[in-house]
Amino acid sequence: MTTPPAHDSASADASTSPPPAPSPRRTDPRLTAAIVASALFMQNLDSTAVMTALPAMARELGEEPARLGAAITAYLVALTVFIPLSGWVADRFGAKRVFMLAIVLFTIASVLCGRATGLAELVAARVLQGLGGAMMLPVARLLLLRQVRKDEILTAMTWLTMPALIGPIMGPPLGGLLTDTLGWRSVFLINLPIGVLGLVMVAWKIAPAPVAPPGPPDVAGLALTGAALALVMFGLETVGRGITPPLVSEATLAAGLLTGWVAVRHCRRVVRPAVDFALLRIPSFWQAAGPGTLFRIGAGATPFLIPTLLQIGFGHSASEAGLVSFATALGALAMKPLARPVLRRFGFRATITVCCVLAAASIALSASFTAAWPLWSVFLVLALSGLLRSLQFTAISALAFADVPAERFSAATGFFATLQQLAPALGVVLATATLEASAALAGRPHGTLATADFALAFLVAGALALAAAPFFARMAPDAGADVSGHGVGVRRRRGA
């Protein structure tokens, strides 16, 4: 016989006990999510807008465009190196305080980037940006999870995942517009008002979470994990781009994988590891972290392939390509009111499995794009694809934390955020490798791409995304039911 909940006992003694004090008014989880998401929007917008401004930056700073890629690489390496540390820092000093510091660091670094007069200054400022960005995503999610109930996680994640979808789509056209009208420095300086507004809103509306001493950090694990991520990200970002001498990127990538293997072995032996791989024993977290990452890699190839195909393959301008690519963001916006009712009706297993198949098909459908397609028809396909991927990302993000105990949220957010950063980079590597292999098999010179190369790249990306579906189909029917609400009433009536 189960013990009745505490509030039921209190109800039984209501006639003899004083009425309970009213609970403090909580911030609406949608408002909390929107506030922390504004900082993430700034981060995602910046990381993609900068790519559009690289040629102008290279001209003014007197550098080769390939060498300016070091600014991108420095940011991504710093981002991935410091993410595993974010959970411990948030527990030690408080999530709200750390999140506000992250906004300050990112904003100050953005101003320094906009005032840089040489490559060395720019790279140093980008490293500082990466440090701030590394604390933003996992700590923002941690701050949100600690202020919402289980049944509010889905709503909160719907709002929180929007910047990850909209920022990369808005970045290229906005970056091009700012660069053409105000100069490349404005791409960085626009973060100043966004950062100040976000800082004020966090200080005003977000309640501080209690600080729990996390114990000593796993210094060896952090060092090994950071080194592995830095080497892997450096290898991925420089391979085939002419930034480093031949074989350096490949050797760095191999060293990163070897260091990663050592880091995994270490983290599985210690009590408080830098990366808690024991989280993968939680079935819902494993589904989001394993097959979910597989899907993200396939989907991560399309933001690179679409604008490149429209410009190189079909001869459209950068502005036209950016506006057409914006259809994905519109589809993501249309999804926002659909996520909760869909998951409540069908549950995580059916929704994620079916959505995985449909989203993979929409990626593969892009292989049929030709110059004869009207832009409006391409726009519609991309909008549908954006809706499906947005629903999938929202469901996966909510599922990841559905069954994670509250005391392990810090470890889970850092782990999951690391995978989220790696997946898009792997998606771009998948796309570029497929394009180059297709061109080589066709006997075309290096760098000469045809529409057929892009078609193959879309098919490969779609196939990889589809490969996650069988894993999702093995999920328990009631996985994450406390979050989705699917079948909860039936289980309660059965006494579950």
237 assigned to some structural domain = no
Compare 124 and 171 and report the one with higher pLDDT: 124
Among 450, 445, 424, 422, residue whose Cα is nearest residue 435: 450
Query: Could you tell me if 44 and 164 lie in one domain?
Result: yes
Q: What is the dihedral of CA 399, 402, 405, 408, to 10 degrees?
A: 30
% of residues, the chain, pLDDT over 90 = 28
**Do 149 and 59 sit in the same domain of this protein?**
yes
159 and 34 in a common domain: yes
Q: Hey, what are 211's tokens? A: 């600080």
Residue 309 has pLDDT above 70, yes or no: yes
Overall average pLDDT of the 2-14 stretch: 40
Dihedral angle of Cα 441, 446, 448, 454, to the nearest 10 degrees: 50
Q: With respect to residue 256, please indicate whether it lies within any of the assigned structural domains.
A: no
In a domain, 267, yes or no: no
Provide the CB-side half-sphere exposure for 86 (13 A, CA).
Answer: 36
Q: Are residues 318 and 193 in the same domain?
A: no
Same domain, 206 and 75: yes
User: Domain for residue 319, yes or no?
Assistant: yes
pLDDT band at 350 (very low <50, low <70, confident <90, very high): very high
**252 within a domain of the structure (yes/no):** no
- Domain-ending residue, one of 188, 217, 246: 217
**Following DSSP, what letter does each residue of 254-289 receive, concatenated?**
HHHHHHHHHHHHHHTTSSS-SS-GGGGGSHHHHHHH
CB 224 within 8 Å of CB 261: no
Looking at 201, 217, 233, which one is the last position of a domain? Answer: 217
Of 217, 240, 268, the one marking the end of a domain is: 217
Same domain, 299 and 443: yes
- How many domains are contained in the chain? 2
Mean pLDDT of the chain: 82
Give the mean model confidence (pLDDT) for residues 198-220: 82
d(C-alpha 469, C-alpha 492), whole Å? 29
Could you read off the pLDDT of 80-107 as tens digits, one per residue? 788 888 888 888 888 889 999 999 999 9
Tens of pLDDT along 99-128? Answer: 999 999 999 999 999 999 888 899 899 999
Distance CA 402, CA 289 (A): 13
- 173 and 304: one domain? no
For the whole prediction, is pTM greater than 0.85? no
Parent domain of 151:
27-217
pLDDT tier, 4 (very low <50, low <70, confident <90, very high otherwise): very low
- 239 assigned to some structural domain: no
Q: Can you give the three-state secondary structure of 210-242, one letter per residue?
A: CCCCCCCCCHHHHHHHHHHHHHHHHHHHHCCCC
> What's the whole-number mean pLDDT along residues 33-54?
77
Listed range (14-28, 221-235, 308-322, 369-383) with the worst mean pLDDT: 14-28
Q: Please report whether residue 322 resides in a domain.
A: yes
Q: Is 266 a residue whose pLDDT tops 90?
A: yes
Per the CB < 8 A criterion, the answer to whether 160 and 141 are in contact is yes
The pLDDT value given to residue 295: 96
Q: Would residue 242 count as lying in a domain?
A: no
Residue 180 to residues 50, 166, 183, Cα–Cα distance (Å): 13, 22, 6
Q: CATH number, domain at 349?
A: 1.20.1250.20
184 & 41 share domain: yes
- Residues 351, 213 within the same domain: no
For the chain, give percent helix, strand, coil, nearest 5: 75, 0, 25
- Collect all residues with Cβ–Cβ distance below 8 Å to 230 and sequence separation of at least 6: 77, 80, 81, 256
Identify whether residues 383 and 288 lie together within a single domain. Answer: yes
pLDDT value, residue 488:
57
